[in-house]
């Protein structure tokens, strides 16, 4: 990875890292009887949460959870995610597997994707599910932000794997990041300076994740990488045409930013910008048709709002049953803000809605 570029973190990224590290030191209330085990699935560290067995109980349902943090921050074991997964295990009476994928700058794309895929495929083996008393027909894959990106990309890959006998019943994506094609969607324009995920910060995450030169940020910001003269981008353009995929309440008066002449060399230098493993929204319709029943949570005050909305619309057009949960007064990352001193109503509200959907559909 470009370690020097990573070390040149913006003040926003440094501040976010401070918040995450602070959360990691908080002493969250424990949830009695939830057994927590750290283990390894096919070379990938995971943390498994098991609620207590009940008398005459059958097999349990399960959630594979992939945490957020821009592919570079946070951990499955950090306080906020540990707390979320314990609450999920207890509330759903489900086995929760939290994936501890490797982070930038240790590794870059596609290694995070490989880690999440390997861990998930290992868990989906019949003998492993039997070891944890999990019902093979009641498994969800889920994640937030960059974890939502990985969950969607892994789910797409699993749906195409002809050797798999067990696949997720559901996917649940929390304010997922799904594309690096257009950084001027209405939500990117509307929320470009909204904490905790400003537009330039999201582009920084992308460049670090894709092992790209951080000097490309100004060009990415104005969509020079997907200009009309960049032939590699042409076939993908309709797959995230927000002028047709977004409702008028999202589009407002914003206009598309499409350069006539851009920089084709960016795509030559960073081909992963158009790799569906990095940008699941770019997947072809044939892949989307294979996706399971889906939940997507989006927040109005979030640059990624339109990523989630466009994916929901494309999945619906492909025949997938989708629940879109749009929170008008919430912001990116709010779901982990549920405990003192940051016990926000936005966090509790989104978490409860998410868990309620899982409870009703898993």
Burial 188-223 (b: 16+ CB within 10 A, else e): bbbbeebeebbbbbbbbbbbbbbbbebebbebbbeb
How far apart (Å, rounded) are the C-alpha atoms in residues 299 and 283? Answer: 23
> Which residue is listed with tokens 């309620």?
356
SS3 222: coil
277's CB contacts (< 8 A; 6+ apart) are: 109, 110, 113, 153, 157
> Which residue is listed with tokens 């006998």?
165
Nearest to 232 by CA among 302, 293, 299, 282: 282
DSSP state of 236: T
- Three-state DSSP string of 99-145: EECCCCCCCCCCHHHHHHHHHHHHHCCHHHHHHCCEEEEEEEEEEEC
Residues annotated as part of the active site: 145, 302, 332
Task: Determine how many CB atoms are found less than 10 A away from the CB of residue 7.
Answer: 8
* Two structure tokens written together for 152: 């969607």
Nearest to 251 by CA among 309, 203, 297, 207: 309
Q: State the helix-helix crossing angle for 79-92 and 11-25, rounded to 10 degrees.
A: 60
């Amino acid at each position: 990875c470009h370690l020097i570029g990573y070390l040149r973190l913006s003040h926003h990224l440094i501040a976010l890292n401070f918040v995450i590290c602070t959360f990691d030191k908080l002493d969250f209330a424990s949830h009695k009887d939830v057994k927590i085990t750290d283990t390894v699935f096919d070379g990938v560290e995971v943390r498994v949460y098991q609620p207590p067995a009940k008398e005459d109980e059958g097999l349990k349902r399960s959630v594979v959870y992939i945490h957020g943090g821009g592919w570079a921050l946070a951990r499955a074991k950090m306080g906020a995610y540990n707390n979320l997964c314990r609450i999920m295990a207890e509330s759903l009476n489900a086995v929760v597997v939290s994936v501890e994928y490797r982070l930038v700058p240790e590794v870059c794309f596609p290694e995070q994707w490989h880690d999440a895929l390997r861990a998930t495929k290992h868990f989906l083996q019949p003998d492993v599910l039997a070891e944890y008393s999990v019902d093979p027909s009641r498994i969800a894959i889920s994640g937030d932000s960059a974890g939502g990106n990985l969950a969607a990309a892994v789910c797409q890959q699993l749906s195409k794997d002809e050797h798999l006998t067990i696949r997720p019943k559901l996917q649940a994506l929390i304010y997922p990041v799904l594309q690096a094609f257009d950084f001027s969607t209405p939500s990117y324009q509307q929320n470009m300076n909204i904490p905790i995920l400003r537009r330039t910060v999201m582009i920084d995450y992308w460049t670090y994740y894709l092992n790209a030169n951080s000097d490309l940020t100004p060009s990415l910001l104005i969509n020079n990488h997907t200009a009309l003269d960049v032939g590699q981008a042409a076939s993908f353009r309709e797959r995230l045409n927000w002028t047709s995929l977004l409702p008028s309440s999202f589009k407002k008066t914003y206009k598309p930013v499409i350069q006539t002449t851009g920089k084709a060399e960016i795509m030559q230098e960073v081909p992963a910008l158009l790799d569906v493993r990095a940008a699941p929204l770019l997947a072809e319709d044939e892949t989307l048709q294979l996706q399971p029943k889906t939940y997507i949570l989006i927040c109005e005050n979030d640059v990624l709002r339109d990523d989630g909305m466009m994916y929901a619309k494309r999945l619906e057009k492909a025949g997938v049953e989708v629940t879109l949960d749009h929170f008008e007064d919430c912001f990116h990352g709010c779901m982990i803000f549920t405990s003192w001193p940051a016990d926000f109503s936005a966090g509790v509200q989104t978490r409860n809605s998410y868990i309620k959907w899982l409870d009703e559909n898993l």
